[in-house]
Amino acid sequence: MTITAELPLTTEHVLHESFDELRPPDAAADQLLLDLPALATAFSRRLRDAGVPVTPSQCELFARSLGLTAPRSLDDLYWTARAVFVTDTRQAAAFRRVFGAVFGAIA
């Protein structure tokens, strides 16, 4: 899946839809277009609300990381986000809960 910032989506849309539902009908099966800053901001806000200390620089790093790594699976997305946001093992459970609520549970 290719992630680009060409199609701006609202924060609510990004948070409440799965990746497959976000793909425009005319997009290739392996392409997903997202507004990376909006996605990173919305996800960061959810993490912060759940008690995970998130800094503005982590939010920016997450958006840049998505652009650089272009996660091809939910598992790839999980580990990309976790590498950016979880700085202490005590944050892992809250991170996993928020990730599952936003993007769907991973195996």
**Exposure of 57 by Cβ count < 10 A (0-12 exposed, 13-18 middle, 19+ buried)?**
exposed
pLDDT at 36: 83
Tell me the mean pLDDT per 10 residues along the chain, length 107.
Answer: 42 43 48 76 95 96 91 92 96 96 84
Q: Quick one: pLDDT at residue 107?
A: 66
Per-residue pLDDT at 70: 87
Q: Quote the pLDDT of residue 1.
A: 44
Q: Specify the pTM.
A: 0.68
78 half-sphere exposure, CB direction, 13 A CA radius: 17
Number of structural domains in the chain: 1
Domain coverage including residue 72: 2-103
For position 93, what pLDDT does the model report? 96
